[in-house]
Amino acid sequence: RYMAPIPNAIDWNGFVWPGAVIDTNHIAALATTEFGPDDVFVVSYPKSGTTWCSEVLSGIVHEGNTEIIKPIDMLDRVPWLEINPALMPLKPPTTNPKKRVYFTHLAVHLLPASVREGKCKVIYVARNPKDQAVSYYHFHRSAKFLGLQTDLAWKDFFTFFCTGIICCGGWFEHVLTYWKFTQNNPNAVFVKYEDMKRDLVEEMKALENFIGVPLNEEQRKKVIDHCSFDSMKVSKFMRKVSAKC
């Protein structure tokens, strides 16, 4: 029942995938793709602050040079790992950042082997499930690749959400498996969306230290100003990103 409204929905590897934007053959091929010390992955369950955290990381790896990144769509600076390459090829950014940043919603076991083995940095972003679920519900009602489900009832969505019969699987399983992953991998860290909202300066400092790209106060302030909610609301690039993912 969940899959019916989703265009070209795919049941693969225990998950439902929106076939309009995801190619499962591409995900399978990613298993052997090599990533290394210059790569950083922002991982999250959908609607957990992925875009915001990715933009913060993009600002950090560009050392606060927001003038370079402002004109460029975030998806061209922070590629969506699992998106169908026919829609958006997976290629390095042209802005010469200190590190390459990617984002993904993939479950741990579907990550490329080089990522699971700790060859690059992984930042997992978790959000309070009450807020996340409400946001994900409205996203199902507005996203074209999920079928623009304007008649989707909350009670039906909540059943899908709690049982894990939903794109990216269940929230609880996703967060728990990544929590365990970060506890056993020195190159992985678990970040809370709410902590970033409460004190972005301190969270940024921790992320800078984690990926090895320290900023000075002036650089950090530029990133914070660029990533403020007011700034991101008016950005046409942020709206484009939100419409896609």
CA nearest to 27, candidates 36, 37, 35, 17: 17
Tokens of 118: 């700790």
Q: Write the single-letter amino acid at 40.
A: V
Residue with tokens 């790569």: 39
Q: Write the single-letter amino acid at 188.
A: A
d(CA 54, CA 102): 8
Tokens of 234: 């008016």
Q: Which of 26, 62, 105, 226 is catalytic?
A: 105
Q: Is 105 a catalytic residue?
A: yes
Strand segments, DSSP code E, in the chain are: 9-12, 15-18, 39-44, 100-104, 121-126, 188-192
Catalytic residues: 105
